[in-house]
Amino acid sequence: MITPIEATNTYFQRAAQLLGLDAITIRQLIIPFREVKVECDIIKDDGSLAIFIGYRVQHDNSRGPMKGGIRFHPSVDIDEVNALAQLMTWKTAVVNLPYGGAKGGVSCDPRTLSKGELQRLTRVFTQKVHDLIGPAIDIPAPDMGTNAQTMAWIMDEYSKFHGYSPAVVTGKPLELGGSEGRDAATGRGLLYAAESLFADNHVKLSSLTYAIQGFGNVGSWAARLLYAEGAKIVAISDVTGAIRNPNGIDIPSLTEYVKQNGGIQGFTGGEAFPLEDLLFEPCDVVIPAALGGVLTAENAGRVQARFVLEAANHPTDPEADAILQQKGVILLPDIYANAGGVTVSYFEWTQNLQQFHWNAERVNKELRHIMQNAYKDIREVQTKYQCDLRTAAFALAIDRVSRATMLRGL
Ligand code: NAD
C-alpha cells in the first residue's frame, strides 16, 4: 500500500516537473524545516505511569508562520505527520494565506483516556514543544482526536511560559477567542469550492445528486449546507453504517437522529447498505469526508460519479487519481477543497492578534471570497499547463512557496 508521504511526494514531483524546478529547489522544498519527537509521560488516574510519543513536523515557513493540526490517534507516526505537514504548506499557499505548513500529533488512543489524563497529556506535550511554537512561529489547531477543549489547554499551558497568548492556537472555544463559523468552516469552504466548480462546468448545484462518506465535522456540515442549497443527498455513511435513498435523504432529520443515537445505523429515512460501497453509488458527486487512502487502484474504476470533491485529506492514491482522470471524472483536490478550515483558522488568528471579534456574516463572506479567488487562480494555472486540477493546485502552491523562498534568500 502506498503511504501518505509517497502519495504527497508523487503529486509534488508531478507539479514540480511541470514548473521546471531544478533538483536543488525540489530538495529544498521537500525537506521539512524541523522534525521534533518528544516523550510525553503522564501519571494515569490509577497511579500508573504511561509513556506516549509526540511529534511536531514544521515543513516550511517561507510564506509565514507554520500552521497545522494536532492529531491524537494510535496511527500517528513520523511518516503520516510528515505527509500532512507538507500538505499544509501547499494548502495554505493554494488559498494564499500568509502561512507555511506544519502538523503534529501524539500516538495514543484518546477514547481510552479520561478527561483528566487527556488534559495532562496535552499539557506535557505543550511543555515539550512550547519554545518551538508561537503566534509568529507555528500555530497548532485541532485535528482527529483533538478539539476546542484541547486547544484551550494548549493555550493555557503555553501562556504560563509566554504570557497570555490566544493566537498560539486556533479552533479554540468562542469564550477564549475562537472564531464564529470555525465549526462549519471546512464544510462551508467545500460548498463555496463546489459552487465555483459547478458554475465553471455549467451545472447547477441543486440539480445534482451526492454521496458523502463520513458524517463527522466535515461530512455533516457539507451535507447540511448542500441540503440547504437544494442539493439531493442520495447516500451517506459513517463508521456505524450507510444509508441510501434515491429520492434524497432528509439531512435535518438525520442530524437529529445521529445526535441522539451516536451514528447513522438504524436511521429509517433510507435503505441500509454496506458502508464499503458508498463511494461507488450511482450519483453525480462523490464526497469522501472521512479517511485517507479510500480511493485506490483496486476500486477507483467503480466510481460512477462525474465529480469527486476531496473533503478528507489524501483520500485518493496516485494510481486511483490516474484511473479517475482516464474516466473523465473531475476531481477537486484536498489541498483546495478542504482549505475552508485553515482559512477560518487564519481569521481566528487575525482576530486574536487584533483583539477584535468578527461576526459570522463577515467570516462567511471573507471565506467565500478566498475560496472563489483560489479557484480562479487554480484554473489559470490549469489553462497554462493543460493539466488536471490537482496538478494545477500543487503547481500554484509550489510556485508561490518557491518564489517566497528565493526572495528571502539564504
Ligand atoms: P470527524 O472525526 O469529525 O469525522 C469523521 C467521520 O468519518 C465520522 O462520521 C466517522 O464515523 C466517519 N468514518 C470513520 N470511518 C469510516 C468509514 N470506514 N466509512 C465511513 N465513515 C467513516 O473528522 P472530521 O474533522 O470530519 O475530518 C474528516 C476528514 O476531513 C479527515 O480526513 C480530516 O483530516 C479532514 N479535514 C478536516 C478538517 C476539519 O476542519 N475538521 C479540515 C480539513 C480536512
Question: Given the CA of residue 186, which atom of ligand 1 is nearest to it?
Answer: 40
Cα 121 to middle of ligand 1, angstroms: 23
- Total residue count of the chain as it appears in this document: 410
The CA distance from 342 to 88, in Å, is 9
Question: Greater confidence, 1 or 377?
Answer: 377
The CA distance from 11 to 365, in Å, is 31
Q: Are 368 and 94 in contact (CB under 8 A)?
A: no
For the chain, the average pLDDT equals 96
Report whether residue 343 contacts ligand 1, using a CB cutoff of 6 Å. no
Q: Are 176 and 152 in contact (CB under 8 A)?
A: yes
Q: How many CB atoms within 10 Å of residue 264?
A: 23
Report whether residue 237 contacts ligand 1, using a CB cutoff of 6 Å. yes
Nearest CA to ligand 1 atom 28: 290
The CA distance from 110 to 117, in Å, is 9
- Spatial CB neighbours of 252, under 8 Å, sequence gap ≥ 6: 224, 227
pLDDT at 301: 98
Q: Could you tell which of 70, 95, 236, 239 is best to mutate to test the pocket of ligand 1, judged by most ligand atoms within 8 Å of the CB?
A: 239
3-state secondary structure at position 171: coil
The CA distance from 149 to 343, in Å, is 20
Report whether residue 86 contacts ligand 1, using a CB cutoff of 6 Å. no
pLDDT at 259: 96
Nearest CA to ligand 1 atom 20: 238
pLDDT in tens, 166-211: 999 999 999 999 999 999 999 999 999 999 999 999 999 999 999 9
Q: Active site residue: 67, 91, 103, 232, which one?
A: 103
Residue 90 has pLDDT above 80, yes or no: yes
Put residue 262 in one of left, alpha, beta given phi > 0 → left and psi -120 to 50 → alpha: left
Q: Are 316 and 324 in contact (CB under 8 A)?
A: yes
Report whether residue 186 contacts ligand 1, using a CB cutoff of 6 Å. yes
pLDDT in tens, 347-401: 999 999 999 999 999 999 999 999 999 999 999 999 999 999 999 999 999 999 9
The CA distance from 373 to 18, in Å, is 22
Cα 76 to middle of ligand 1, angstroms: 15
Helices (H) and strands (E) in the chain, counts: 13, 12
pLDDT in tens, 245-288: 999 999 999 999 999 999 999 999 999 999 999 999 999 999 99
- Spatial CB neighbours of 164, under 8 Å, sequence gap ≥ 6: none
Q: Are strands 241-244 and 330-332 parallel, antiparallel or unpaired?
A: unpaired
Q: Cβ-count burial of 315 within 10 angstroms (0-12 exposed, 13-18 middle, 19+ buried)?
A: buried
The CA distance from 11 to 278, in Å, is 25
Question: Given the CA of residue 334, which atom of ligand 1 is nearest to it?
Answer: 44
Report whether residue 146 contacts ligand 1, using a CB cutoff of 6 Å. no
DSSP β-bridge partners for residue 307? 285, 330
pLDDT at 3: 84
Q: Which of 1-15, 145-159, 313-327, 352-366 has the lowest mean pLDDT?
A: 1-15
pLDDT in tens, 31-73: 999 999 999 999 999 999 999 999 999 999 999 999 999 999 9
The CA distance from 249 to 101, in Å, is 37
Cα 402 to middle of ligand 1, angstroms: 31
What residue type is 292 in one-letter code? G
Q: What is the pLDDT confidence band of residue 300, given thresholds at 50, 70 and 90?
A: very high
Cα 138 to middle of ligand 1, angstroms: 24
pLDDT in tens, 164-178: 999 999 999 999 999
Cα 233 to middle of ligand 1, angstroms: 18
Nearest CA to ligand 1 atom 30: 312
Report whether residue 239 contacts ligand 1, using a CB cutoff of 6 Å. yes
Is 103 noted as a catalytic residue in this protein? yes
Q: Are 86 and 101 in contact (CB under 8 A)?
A: yes
Average pLDDT over residues 224-247: 97
Q: How many CB atoms within 10 Å of residue 369?
A: 12
- Give the sign of the dihedral formed by CA 329, CA 335, CA 336, CA 338: positive
Residue 4 has pLDDT above 90, yes or no: no
Q: Are 51 and 125 in contact (CB under 8 A)?
A: no
pLDDT in tens, 7-40: 999 999 999 999 999 999 999 999 999 999 999 9
Residue 1 has pLDDT above 80, yes or no: no
Report whether residue 341 contacts ligand 1, using a CB cutoff of 6 Å. yes
Cα 291 to middle of ligand 1, angstroms: 6
Q: Are strands 241-244 and 271-273 parallel, antiparallel or unpaired?
A: antiparallel
Q: Are 205 and 195 in contact (CB under 8 A)?
A: yes
Q: Could you tell which of 8, 144, 264, 299 is best to mutate to test the pocket of ligand 1, judged by most ligand atoms within 8 Å of the CB?
A: 144
**Angstrom distances, CA of residue 134 to CA of 87, 275, 279:** 20, 41, 40
Q: Are 60 and 90 in contact (CB under 8 A)?
A: no
Cα 238 to middle of ligand 1, angstroms: 9
Q: What is the pLDDT confidence band of residue 410, given thresholds at 50, 70 and 90?
A: confident
Nearest CA to ligand 1 atom 34: 313
C-alpha cell at 129: 514543544
pLDDT at 191: 98
356 phi, psi to nearest 5 deg: -140, 135
Residue 234 has pLDDT above 80, yes or no: yes
Q: Could you tell which of 91, 215, 218, 334 is best to mutate to test the pocket of ligand 1, judged by most ligand atoms within 8 Å of the CB?
A: 218
Listing from the earlier edge strand, what are the strands of the sheet with 271-273?
Answer: 271-273, 241-244, 232-238, 209-213, 285-288, 307-309, 330-332
Q: Are strands 34-43 and 49-60 parallel, antiparallel or unpaired?
A: antiparallel
Question: Given the CA of residue 311, which atom of ligand 1 is nearest to it?
Answer: 30
Report whether residue 213 contacts ligand 1, using a CB cutoff of 6 Å. yes
